[in-house]
Chains A and B, each alone.
Chain A
Amino acid sequence: MTDKFFDLTRRTFLDRVLMASAGGVMATATPWVAMAAGAETAGAGKVRLGVIGTGDRGRALIQNIAKTRNCMVAALCDTYAPNLAKARQWVAAGTPEFSDHRAMLDTRGLDAVVIATPLHRHAQHTFDAMDAGLHVWCEKAMARTIADCGAMVERARTRGKVLQIGHQRMFHPTYLNALRRVKAGEIGPVTQIRASWHRNNAWRRPVPADSDDRRINWRLYRESSAGLMTELATHQLQVGNWFLDAVPTRVIGSGSICFWKDGREVYDHVALIYEYAGGRKVIYTSLLNNARYGCEEQVQGSKGTIEPELGRIYQEVPHRALALQRMQADVKRGHKRTIPIGGATWFPELPVTTPGESLGWGEYDETMLQFEGFGEAVRKGKALPGLLQQAYYASVASLLGEQAMDKGEAMTWPTSLVTV
């Protein structure tokens, strides 16, 4: 596919999504998309990115950046040399490498940094990068504490820098299609989103002889991570807020180390209910010893259900008037007719197994689009509108959920959040 054809395809898709809704509802709900879709190609020179953290996730990001037409990796940084060595294959020969991020920031020639370090390091790396005059793209979740999340927002504002967080679902064509169909009223008012991220593995990486467990398995320790909440749930809580067009009013939850009793400190089993205005809810579960239901959000309205990960939309099966109830009504009005009973076709309240329809797909990679959007934001010195607020609230929701589980009590949405 040529760049021109690709660009046309993507723009056509996004235009169709954005323009399809009446009154520009989609453009309002996804203000970042139009700007990202309009990203200029490399004509003005590629945005030069320094990547801090070249572990598994960092290397995946590097590969995505390589696919973009307006960004390039201009420096690598990791405190663990083997990670740098593995990342080298994805960048141009001679790309500078650093073991200290401050040293990388001190060199000239970078426009922005990409942060893919353990969660508890995000805030400091962001502060340091912005203090060095650079824009920041940071992996989700934003930070280990709600206070640090707010401080990152504040730092971006005071330094006048772009801060973008890696919530790629906001660029995902299927999610955009899903939101368009929700906004069009196809599944009726959404009152509940049931989200899950279920895996069946220890979530534990092997520790090389030259490293240690807390460094390699930082996701399993409280100092560095809130575990499932910040590493997985934050994606889906963002979707919940986005599709319900609100933030939660409060959250209740239960967390436990239920299966992997291997010395980890974070829960391997979480169940939470996030309440929204009007009685709406996001019901969230994540666990590490059963993968039957995998990763999914079930967006439930009175007329249908959307499951974005499966790319399906299901219409509610029309309620069949109960034959015997109708018979009662017939008798009351003096009307006699044959009673159409269900017979062997009747069965009460089993799950509906209709196959549904495809939501519709788009031919582009969402992670690539978010980086092209970031590149465009860096060039213009102006953040993609709406993105940071979504990310901030998703991180707050995930950390508030952790607090609710730790304290065993309902946590109300904080009133002290910074304004995005």
Chain B
Amino acid sequence: MRALPATGELCFSAMGTRVELHRFGGGAADALAQAERAIEMVDDALTIHRPSSTTALNEALRSRQTATITDPILLDALIRIDDARAATLELFDPTIDARHTVGWEALRFDRQAATISCADPIALDFGGFGKGYALDRAVLALQEAGVGCALLSAGESSIAVIGEHPLGGTWSFAIPDPRQPEATLVELELVDEALSISATIGAGSAAPERAAMLRPGAPSPVTAPRTAIVVDRSGAMAEMLSTALIVADDAAALRLHDGARRMRFDLTPAAPTRIFV
């Protein structure tokens, strides 16, 4: 039997949920603390529930002013979202516009000058991106601290793993069916990857302050019962893709899903458990 690695764990509240960091073997003694700090820095930068770089930016955008982005985390987040536009078929859009007439495409984002502006009043909400992005930053912090095996969770709907399972091989996860939480919807194997789960039903979807899933340009939330599951090297990309899959129409969903790492499930009561679009 192989020697078991040293373990450690850290649980705390951030990004509006419970974050768990589990490390196995190797690395600096304060690696978990560094990862926690990385997540808190993302939370501080991207939150819209207390004063932050994002709320300051939103104040400027709402009044049609050009905002200079001085927070490096916020700038990095905007660049990642901008870079992911094509991959998500422009279906992930963090802009909030009460009239639903303009979106990300209306923003003038100059990544070199670190400025952003819009002719119309608009604001940004990083839900559907933030947790995955925070896990990416924490993964980086752990790796830089020498950790080669770890599991990170933000609310159990965003997961990232570093390396193989501490006992060897892949990390295996069972994803529950939101209609029937004791039943498994799908099992997935991960190594050095991130997992994101989005859904329009389930306990979390009824939570206060939970933003509705909006299709860009559409005024109404997506109400069809569905869940999307995406595995990707990047937690941020997994998060954006799972959101895009939720809001996609059938044609777009077919282009986005691959049946193995990008999936969307129809969760109408009569639907079989495993139905792709």
Q: Which A residues lie at the B interface, using CB under 8 A?
A: 322-325, 327-328, 331-332, 334-348, 350
Given A331-B7, A336-B165, A341-B175, are A347 and B155 neighbors across the interface (CB < 8 Å)? yes
Residue in B165, B167, B202 whose CB lies within 8 Å of A345? B202
Say yes or no: B227 contacts A341, CB within 8 Å.
no
Number of A-B contacts (CB under 8 A): 100
Complex Cα–Cα for A347 and B209 (A): 12
Complex Cα–Cα for A342 and B4 (A): 26
Residue in A325, A334, A335, A341 whose CB lies within 8 Å of B159? A341
Is residue B217 contacting chain A, with contact meaning CB distance below 8 A?
A: no
Is residue B198 contacting chain A, with contact meaning CB distance below 8 A?
A: yes
Distance in Å: Cβ of B11 to nearest Cβ of chain A: 9
Distance in Å: Cβ of A41 to nearest Cβ of chain B: 54
Say yes or no: A334 contacts B22, CB within 8 Å.
no
Complex Cα–Cα for A348 and B7 (A): 25
Band of interface residues on B: 35 or more
Say yes or no: A336 contacts B167, CB within 8 Å.
yes
Residue in A328, A338, A347 whose CB lies within 8 Å of B174? A338
Distance in Å: Cβ of A318 to nearest Cβ of chain B: 12
Residue in A324, A335, A343 whose CB lies within 8 Å of B151? A324
Is residue B83 contacting chain A, with contact meaning CB distance below 8 A?
A: no
Say yes or no: B156 contacts A343, CB within 8 Å.
yes
Q: Mark B178-200, 1 if CB is under 8 A from A, else 0.
A: 10010011010000000001110
Complex Cα–Cα for A337 and B184 (A): 14
Q: Which of B38-56 contact A (CB under 8 A)?
A: none
Distance in Å: Cβ of A329 to nearest Cβ of chain B: 10
Complex Cα–Cα for A347 and B204 (A): 5
Say yes or no: A342 contacts B174, CB within 8 Å.
no
Residues of the B chain whose Cβ atoms lie less than 8 Å from the Cβ of A331: 4-5, 7, 24, 166-167
Q: Which B residues lie at the A interface, using CB under 8 A?
A: 1, 4-5, 7, 9, 13, 17-18, 20, 22, 24, 151, 153, 155-157, 159, 165-169, 171-176, 178, 181, 184-185, 187, 197-199, 201-205, 207, 227, 229
Complex Cα–Cα for A335 and B166 (A): 10
Residues of the B chain whose Cβ atoms lie less than 8 Å from the Cβ of A323: 156
Known: A341-B176, A342-B155, A344-B178; 17 extra A-B contacts, CB below 8 A, are A328-B7, A331-B5, A331-B166, A332-B7, A336-B168, A336-B172, A339-B171, A339-B172, A341-B156, A342-B176, A343-B227, A344-B201, A344-B205, A345-B203, A346-B155, A346-B203, A346-B204
Given A328-B9, A334-B167, are A346 and B156 neighbors across the interface (CB < 8 Å)? yes
Given A343-B178, A348-B155, are A338 and B172 neighbors across the interface (CB < 8 Å)? yes
Residues of the B chain whose Cβ atoms lie less than 8 Å from the Cβ of A338: 172-174, 187
Q: Across the two chains, which residue of chain B brings its CB closest to A339?
A: B173
**Can you list the 6 inter-chain pairs with the closest CB atoms, starting with the nearest?**
A344-B199, A342-B156, A344-B202, A347-B204, A346-B156, A338-B172
Residues of the A chain whose Cβ atoms lie less than 8 Å from the Cβ of B153: 324, 341
Q: Across the two chains, which residue of chain A brings its CB closest to B204?
A: A347
Say yes or no: B197 contacts A343, CB within 8 Å.
yes
Q: Across the two chains, which residue of chain B brings its CB closest to A344?
A: B199
Complex Cα–Cα for A327 and B23 (A): 12
Most chain B CB within a 10 A radius of its CB, from A331, A334, A345: A345
Residue in A334, A337, A341, A344 whose CB lies within 8 Å of B4? A334
Residues of the A chain whose Cβ atoms lie less than 8 Å from the Cβ of B165: 336
Say yes or no: B204 contacts A345, CB within 8 Å.
yes
Complex Cα–Cα for A299 and B55 (A): 42
Residues of the B chain whose Cβ atoms lie less than 8 Å from the Cβ of A337: 172
Complex Cα–Cα for A332 and B4 (A): 7
Say yes or no: A343 contacts B171, CB within 8 Å.
no
Residues of the A chain whose Cβ atoms lie less than 8 Å from the Cβ of B175: 341, 343
Distance in Å: Cβ of B203 to nearest Cβ of chain A: 5
Residue in B18, B181, B187 whose CB lies within 8 Å of A348? B18
Distance in Å: Cβ of B198 to nearest Cβ of chain A: 7
Complex Cα–Cα for A318 and B207 (A): 20
Q: Across the two chains, which residue of chain A brings its CB closest to B159?
A: A341
Given A324-B153, A331-B167, A336-B167, are A341 and B202 neighbors across the interface (CB < 8 Å)? no
Q: Across the two chains, which residue of chain B brings its CB closest to A322?
A: B20
Q: Across the two chains, which residue of chain A brings its CB closest to B180?
A: A345
Distance in Å: Cβ of B174 to nearest Cβ of chain A: 4
Given A341-B156, A345-B202, A348-B17, are A334 and B173 neighbors across the interface (CB < 8 Å)? no
Complex Cα–Cα for A380 and B176 (A): 66
Q: Across the two chains, which residue of chain A brings its CB closest to B186?
A: A343
Complex Cα–Cα for A75 and B115 (A): 87
Residues of the A chain whose Cβ atoms lie less than 8 Å from the Cβ of B197: 343-344
Complex Cα–Cα for A233 and B156 (A): 44
